[in-house]
Structure 1
């Protein structure tokens, strides 16, 4: 009988079936596959990120960089000039302050908590790898209506990966990674770029929201290296609908049509 290089020899004389090797090959086929974004459980996870426009959020966020940290509180129920407030201020970082100013100047800063354009960004088909504890989903980012010029530029150069809990049908995180150095959109060379969004699920309505995100980049220009790293951690959230009617409509749509019984024959 010939040596078995990793499998078990069995079957009729002259037949050799290497069971372990076949199992590994079958497992590889089953754990890596193409999936349409409209199929479950991916469709359910995407639907959970698509919060209705009537859902709002009050939140407290800690912005941090290598040199400074800021804590802000936002509540859309306060008067316009009082909605974005400083809670804590440590260190000096002009760029971190600019990040906060840009966020505060948006019409609805709480909109950043909802990744509602993720379905459009993923497109129709994705590559799925079953990692056991979660699904790793590789996709090419398709620019959406909410993307700016940098997002369009980055879509052609960054690798996008989503992590999905297939049992809970919810996303866990979204990662964007630059696989190799490229020329920057404004000159120089971008040598490193990593961006991650961590996702949590709001327990009352089952909506997925961004609980934190981080960006780390390195660029070279004019004989110098520029490194930037900052993160935003949502430390407190309160979700609510813009009106009682909006909440009732959401609840009714979530329950779907009810089966009718007791109809006369």
Structure 2
């Protein structure tokens, strides 16, 4: 699967584009975890960088699909992806020196969340105010394990460490950038109260909370996402960013008067059924593609 993953991404989404073609007005950084150094390894449109390795601008041959696949190579499901660096020149942060003789010929890269699930490492020392949208799903207590497979039990063991990465990162960000950040995680409670104060119309608040809980529980597996799942996840992200900007920029009249993101146009019962089934993990078969709106 690790070999097929970047190939599928390249064919279906990125159409052969390389990292240097990912240049945009907003800087884009794609994070992985380097098994060799046990630290973060990141891709940008200008270069690649790893702790103890240095920075290299020799990236002409690296596809965007490879960077995305390495960043999303969830342990157990995917083996680490291999990046050949033998012929790449690495320099230190100050642009001096060449590749260290101890640098390996190959790097093994796995999911960026193993080291930093919030992608916050590069921002810790930045003086720029930070707005972070935390989409990490928290593992829930398990009381009935009668139907747990050995794979699911192993995944829960792994989840303990991954959850701790998120919790400790949140605490670190708060302490380091206490007055410069706004972290938006799970919980629409404050957002709903904010809307109520402004006379929100036509929104079922209980339904909104249920939708958010269902979206937070969506599985991570090889099953394709339903359009309902995609649109509701995008809506939740838009809602939280909209809320954050209104709080951070209270004097922006155009922003304060603008409309809030509208719910996706689906029948509520149908959308709930899709999202509920989307929370069930399936490694080898789709669970919800038989759901259609008549």
Q: TM-score, normalised by structure 2?
A: 0.22
Q: Which has the higher strand share?
A: 1
Give the greater-gyration-radius structure (CA). 1
Higher relative contact order at CA 8 Å, sep ≥6: structure 1 or structure 2?
Answer: 1
Q: TM-score, normalised by structure 1?
A: 0.23
